[in-house]
Structure 1
Amino acid sequence: RWLMCCLSAASMKSQAYFNKTGELPCHFTNSQNISLDELVVFWQDQDKLVLYELYRGKENPQNVHRKYKGRTSFDKDNWTLRLHNIQIKDKGLYQCFVHHKGPKGLVPMHQMNSDLSVLANFSQPEIMVTSNRTENSGIINLTCSSIQGYPEPKEMYFLVKTENSSTKYDTVMKKSQNNVTELYNVSISLSFSVPEASNVSIFCVLQLESMKLPSLPYNIGKAASQDYFFLRYHETERSDEAQCVNISKTASGDNSTTQF
């Protein structure tokens, strides 16, 4: 096992997606045009476990830890190690080392640090009605869920938009994390009192670190000739087809832009 502690190291951040391939650059310029036959190149993780070793131009799997065997490939053209089938547990600090194998032994030449973060895309939040409105009640119960994402979202909330207002409903986000994949499933619930004689669009918004992920809206309206409410998905740019539930008569929809 090769260890080195004495070179000042360049550092950069790297990002990869769950089950995809991540890149761990070395950025060795090789200005002296030294042959690979004279170099020892390897990567190790933050626990000093070796991912890959190139010993004098030939791969040396003997020093590679079993968790990385068969998961790496070295791009000699740009001095980058590719780590395949990325898992959440692969996040962390990685180091590339380059040594010159000369008459006096190994001479350190280059060190590069990569701080790898791993992302998994949450599914688009989906709103479901858990209990519909009854004749004597204007209340509907909604849940919204999004699954298999990482890292943990900052928050999740309902946004209720009427013709004249937009109201955010903060709710307690329930979350669970898979013990194996470390991916998160999240959900929220809302009991909502439907305004009479009004068209309402209800969104569910998942607040991630760098973006907001909205659901398709549930539209609630009151048909002029009916005395009950209908619920439907409203067709948006995010969907190819509108999915309808219990539609008897479509009221005029609100097509104004909703800001999240």
Structure 2
Amino acid sequence: MDPRCTMKSGVLFVMVFTLADAVSMKTQAYFNRTAYLPCPFTKGPNISLSELVVFWQDQKKLVLYEHYLGKEKLDSVNAKYRARTSFDGDNWALGLHNVQIKDMGTYDCFIQRKTSKGSVILQQTDTELSVIANFSKPEIEVQNVTRNSGINLTCSSKQGYPKPTTMYILITNSTNSTHEHSGDMQISQDNVTELFSVSISLSIPFPDGVCNVTTLCVLETESTKIYSRLHNIDLPESRFVQEERKSWIACIIIIVLLITGIVLSYLVKLCWRKQEQPGIS
């Protein structure tokens, strides 16, 4: 029986066909973009579209599009696919627009030819569609930096698919020594779009002997790596260093005041001596 058998005017139309080996293909599309479902016709190069019935259906047997003897036929198209498809007759492919995560799955294309005995399936193409969405550039948020608690960081990225594999932060200090820090990823999925958001929160020990570090967050998926912008962090000095610096500043101020006092005292004495000298007649 034809996969599209329908009942019209009380008559059941049964399509007779000879099914050749089905062709299996894979295609990938970006979220909210257009997916192309190929149906290359190789069995009859001299047959025109006006002699054929070409249609696509999804894994639930819902019809996406039908080209019937040279014309589009909309009455058999499921409501969820209306106004979402376009047929490329030159390349024998169907464009499925505004692709969502829920559109992933297998799609079948059938090419039939009308005969006096019914319809004969000349070719079937099965296409497995996968959908991807690029995660946003990871963003680093510095929550707290102290000598005692270390560096508290959060890195987050949004609206991606499929689920990421790992996320970590690279810390490079002023001596160009780089260390990788990772933690448990917090992953959430949007109920409507089915896209993922991910974050990690880390408390990284404070490096010894340095005053600043550079941080970089890396998000890895099955096919790519996404990097955050470099983030510079100036590390606070220890209390001992701060107190030592204050002591040095206080000493410098005292020394400057003493020198200033000595200079002023000398100038005052010099003025008095000039005033006490008798005038020359």
TM-score (normalizing by structure 2): 0.74
Partner of 2:191: 179
Is contact 1:151-1:184 (8 Å) kept?
yes
1:162-219, Cα deviation, whole Å (9 max, x unpaired): 3353222120000110011000010000112222442422111101111111111222
Partner of 1:206: 219
| In the alignment, structure 1 residue 153 sits paired with structure 2 residue 169 | no
3-state SS of 2:75 partner: helix
Partner of 1:246: none
Partner of 1:88: 101
What pairs up with 1:29-178 in 2 under 5 angstroms? Answer: 29=42, 31-130=44-143, 132-134=144-146, 137=148, 139-162=150-173, 163-178=175-190
Partner of 1:28: 41
Is contact 2:29-2:132 (8 Å) kept?
yes
Q: Distance in 1 between matches of 2:23 and 2:57?
A: 15
Task: Tell me the CA shift for residue 37 of structure 1.
Answer: 2.0
Q: Which amino acid aligns with 1:60?
A: K
Q: Distance in 1 between matches of 2:4 and 2:68?
A: 11
Identity %: 54
Q: Which moved more, 1:196-205 or 1:147-156?
A: 196-205
Q: Distance in 2 between matches of 1:189 and 1:223?
A: 21
Q: Which amino acid aligns with 1:149?
A: G
Specify whether residues 5 and 222 from structure 1 end up closer, same or farther in structure 2 by C-alpha distance, changes over 3 A only.
farther
3-state SS of 1:37 partner: helix
Q: Which moved more, 1:21-30 or 1:5-14?
A: 5-14
Q: Which moved more, 1:3-12 or 1:103-112?
A: 3-12
Is contact 1:38-1:102 (8 Å) kept?
no
Partner of 1:19: 32
3-state SS of 1:52 partner: strand
Is contact 2:18-2:120 (8 Å) kept?
no
What pairs up with 1:205-224 in 2 under 5 angstroms? Answer: 205-221=218-234
Specify whether residues 192 and 5 from structure 1 end up closer, same or farther in structure 2 by C-alpha distance, changes over 3 A only.
farther
Q: Distance in 1 between matches of 2:176 and 2:49?
A: 69
Q: Distance in 2 between matches of 1:216 and 1:137?
A: 27
Is contact 1:21-1:84 (8 Å) kept?
yes
Task: Tell me the CA shift for residue 222 of structure 1.
Answer: 5.5
1:195-254, Cα deviation, whole Å (9 max, x unpaired): 244242211110111111111122234699xx78xxxxxxxxxxxxxxxxxxxxxxxxxx
3-state SS of 2:194 partner: coil
Q: Distance in 2 between matches of 1:177 and 1:221?
A: 35
Q: Distance in 1 between matches of 2:152 and 2:19?
A: 62
Task: Tell me the CA shift for residue 75 of structure 1.
Answer: 0.4
Structure holding more helix per residue: 2
5+ long unaligned stretches in structure 1: 229-260
Partner of 2:4: 2
Q: Distance in 2 between matches of 1:129 and 1:20?
A: 35
1:87-131, Cα deviation, whole Å (9 max, x unpaired): 00011111111000121210110111111110001001000012x
Correspondence for 2:200 among 181, 188, 193: 188
- RMSD (Å), alpha carbons: 2.3
Q: Which amino acid aligns with 1:177?
A: Q
Is contact 2:63-2:76 (8 Å) kept?
yes
